[in-house]
Amino acid sequence: MGRASAILLLASGFLSWGLIEYVLHRFIFHYDARSRIGRKLLYEAHISHHEDPERRSRHVASLILSTPVAVVYWLLALAATGSWAVASLLLVGMAGGYLYYQWIHFQCHHGKSRLRVLRYLRKYHLLHHHQTPELRFGVTSPVFDFVFRTFRPVLSRRT
Query: pLDDT tens for residues 26-55?
Result: 998 877 888 888 777 766 766 566 566 666
Lowest-confidence region among 27-36, 84-93, 108-117, 119-128: 27-36
**More confident: 29 or 152:** 152
Q: Which of 51, 57, 54, 55 is nearest to 29 (CA)?
A: 51
List the Cα angle 21/153/94 in 5-degree steps: 20
**Mean pLDDT across the chain, nearest whole number?**
87
**More confident: 52 or 155:** 155
Q: Cβ distance 1 to 85 under 8 Å?
A: yes
pTM, two decimal places: 0.83
**What's the pLDDT band for 19 if we cut at 50, 70, 90?**
very high
